[in-house]
Structure 1
Amino acid sequence: MNTIFIIILLLAMLMVVVSLVRGVVAFLKSTKIDLESGEQVDATEMQLAQNRAMMARVKWQAVAIVVIAIMLAVAN
């Protein structure tokens, strides 16, 4: 039973890292675009991608926390 939870936890942790990297890359691209254009009025597509990636990171962190909580509850 714990093996399944550990596998799910590792997958959730991997997804946290993937989402974080995608968000940082989108942030760097949007910053570069803003600096080159000099004009920023509304959110660009890159900024929206950054927002989606960061929300995904929060979701996967929540999944990891829930898995750890279940593992602790089962262990006791």
Structure 2
Amino acid sequence: MTTILIIALVILCGLVLYSLVRGIVAFLQSTKIDLETGAAENSTEMQMLQNKMMFNRIKFQALAIVVVAILLAVSQ
């Protein structure tokens, strides 16, 4: 049981990192588009992707906290 929870925790941490990086890349791309063109043509799509990735990051972090709480409960 503990092994499965630790594997789940590592996977969730990886997903948090992936979502964080994708969100930051989307932010940088939207900023680059705004600076180069001065118009917000594609920046709306990038902003939507940024919001989606940051929301995913929060979800994965919450799941990781739940897994840690379960690990603490099982170990005692």
> Stretches of 4+ moved more than 6 A in 1?
none
Unaligned ranges ≥5, structure 1: none
TM-score calculated relative to the size of structure 2: 0.92
CA RMSD of aligned residues (A): 1.4
Q: Counterparts of 1:19 and 1:34 in 2: how far apart (Å)?
A: 23
TM-score calculated relative to the size of structure 1: 0.92
Q: Counterparts of 1:36 and 1:2 in 2: how far apart (Å)?
A: 51
Aligned length in residues: 75
Higher relative contact order (CA 8 A, sep 6+): 1
Match of 2:61 in 1: 61
Match of 1:45 in 2: 45
Unaligned ranges ≥5, structure 2: none
Match of 2:17 in 1: 17
Q: Residues 30-54 of structure 1, C-alpha deviation per residue, up to 9 Å, x if partnerless? A: 00011112234xx610010000000
